[in-house]
Chain A
Amino acid sequence: MSILLNQNSKVIVQGITGRDGSFHTRQMLSYGTKVVGGVTPGKGGQDVHGVPVFNTVAEAKEKTKADTAVIYVPAKFAKDAMLEDIKAGINLVICITEGIPVLDMVEVMGALKGTGIRLIGPNCPGVISPGKSKVGIMPGHIHKPGPIGIISRSGTLTYEVVYSLTYHGVGQSTCVGLGGDPIIGTRFVDVLEMFMRDDQTKGIVMVGEIGGEDEQIAAEYIKKEAVKPVVGFIAGRTAPPGKRMGHAGAIISSGNSTAEAKRVVLKDAGVVVVDFPEEIPVVFKEKLGKCLHDAKLL
């Protein structure tokens, strides 16, 4: 099994008639993703690449039995798009849109509480379970099915890591782009837990970056609970220190969110922290040996 997405996931695309929504619907269809419907208010009844368009998520869900939604709508409409999914009870919501106001996300996170709905993103590349389903904007062809789970706060840097793994013959179970915004629906720890329980996943890559404390929280979890090897890469070692924001930020986050601090806590927790993405497949070949190529895994 993979996590979050598999060959049976039924996906609706919000903003399917827009430029990005339409382009990526075609890409997802050609990858083999089951895109069963699209939503654009006022454009119900049309179709895009043969996919029926509905006016509302509720209607789309009823007619198509979709369990997953992906959002490509502009930032100013993204909050309403997510709230619509929550109201309609879509299990998995993946929000690609970037530039969403922080207070909109506070509202969305409030509405998510207690629903059991999983939000990935916003401002993320999406999720792919190679060979099964791709929901997002990542280039499908660089992936290959296999035993490594990837969790990342970045988009293109994840592609670099995936490319390097695939190039060295190491495939992936699921790759999850968490998103680069300060408020995101799903964080490292949530996905680490899923990968630890997933049979197909034998090793995990964490791609982190400067800012926030999610890597530190992940390190705490790994120290206590990890049963599979974790390799980490942290971007931003040479980034200039961020501009300070008054006192409240400093009072709230007393931790150290530099790349070096994150590398240290992850190493402390037993994570193999690498300097270059191409070291990642090498580490897994050492740690997992023949297990990497065990066909039964797939």
Chain B
Amino acid sequence: MKIHEYQATELFQKAGVAVVSGHVATDAQEAARIAEKIGYPVVLKAQVLVGGRGKAGGIKKVNTPQELATAFARLRALKIKDYPVEKVLVVRAVNIKREFYIGMTVDTSRNDVVLIASAAGGVDIEETAQKDPQAIKKYYLEGNPQIGGKKWQSFIESVFDDPHYQVKGTEILRGLIKVFFTYDCSLAEINPLVIDDKGQMCAADAKINFDDNALFRHEDVAALRDIRYEEADEMEAKKYGLSFVRLDGNVGCIVNGAGLAMATMDIVNLSGGASANFLDVGGSSNPEKVVHALRIILNNKKIKAVLINIFGGITRCDDIARGLVDARTKLNLSVPLVVRLIGTNEEEAKALLARHNIRTYPTMREAIGQVVAIANQ
């Protein structure tokens, strides 16, 4: 889960990280009041959860109340990658002398949390990482949020050449580490971390992503979710324990297990069809889930036929079959279903479907061949 820059900035500030002073505004009057308090010039930053904000014109420096009024109106009218700008962060304009990058994430290949820092911060950090890997410094925490000692000293010296900023930088990195562990982040990033013309070091941007699996222990964080950025269908699917992603094709897919669901989509495409969605009904099955799954995927009117591919382990085939029979009566289905069921309670499932004149196919390849043929008619 992602949160907006102004929310991330607040979490960093609470953890003792110096940030560029500012506040978020939803209307022009509020923005003007904030600017008045901070003192002009100020920078207006559109709050969106997608990248490429700067290039889309989502950041504007203004020198006077008149400029602010015009710029604010423009930002509010702006759409960045189709997302409207509802909130604008108003911050002091900083005269940047130096830009650093600091970030923290989990390096899954090392099973460890890693701090990443560079004296070459800013928007081109990824390019820097590609072209000049030496400019990127890493510090593995080895599961320990406490920092210090020789290993730390050599890391911090490799990023900040001035001893004064080694101390300041350590303070800020401590705050970053605190935020990361306190809130179960998957990413916490300050880019750029700046030194301004007065010699102050502070965070000029903030990004935090959270581990969805850990949200159960952070209700305060979960409440920050901006649902405008969630696909309505995908949110609804989640509510019923289904994992769903909409795609461009016309073959609807209902499968159990993510790996088999992906393989099913791949083989639909390799067989000359195009999948309309990824849908994993999850481990345990109940007939209701199948009804919801069908209803949600059929919101997509492009779908010409639906493939149900189930390999029952934990999932019981007869539960799936009951769901299909229910769905046919409840949903008034107008598209053909192509069903392949195998595994736990397969016989009961096939008998039930036969009684309701729903044909089943013995293998995945045959079922996929059939569903693609119908969809391509």
Contact = CB atoms under 8 A, between A and B. Distances in A.
Interface of A: 20, 75-76, 98-107, 109-110, 125, 137-139, 142, 152-160, 163, 180, 182-183, 207, 209-210, 212-214, 217, 233, 235-240, 244-254, 259, 275-278
B111 interface: yes
Contact of B263 (A100, A235, A246, A253): A235
B278 A239 contact: yes
A212 to B, nearest CB: 6
B258 A154 contact: yes
B30 interface: no
B129 A276 contact: no
A157 B263 contact: yes
Interface of B is mostly: mixed
A111 to B, nearest CB: 8
Nearest to A236: B262
Contact of B143 (A107, A209, A212, A236): A107
A99 B51 CA distance: 27
B111 A106 contact: yes
B134 interface: no
A103 B207 CA distance: 19
A158 B311 CA distance: 10
A248 B257 contact: no
A67 B255 CA distance: 35
Given A142-B343, A159-B343, A110 B143 contact: yes
B113 interface: yes
Contacts of A233: 263
Given A156-B256, A159-B260, 5 more contacts: A110-B112, A159-B313, A180-B259, A238-B262, A252-B107
B239 interface: no
Interface stretch (B37-45, B98-106, B166-174): B98-106
A248 B189 contact: yes
Contacts of A238: 247, 262, 265-266, 268-269, 275
A183 B53 CA distance: 32
A209 B261 CA distance: 11
A139 B343 contact: yes
Contact of A210 (B184, B189, B245, B262): B262
Contacts of A107: 143
B156 to A, nearest CB: 18
6 contacts: A102-B211, A155-B313, A157-B263, A252-B107, A276-B270, A277-B263
Nearest to B256: A156
B213 A75 contact: yes
A160 B187 contact: no
A248 B103 contact: yes
Given A159-B311, A235-B266, A254-B129, A247 B103 contact: yes
B104 A248 contact: yes
B136 A139 contact: no
Nearest to B265: A238
Interface string B50-77: 0100000000000000000000000000
Interface in B172-210: 181, 184, 186-187, 189, 191, 207, 209
Interface in B243-285: 245, 247, 255-260, 262-263, 265-270, 275, 278, 283-284
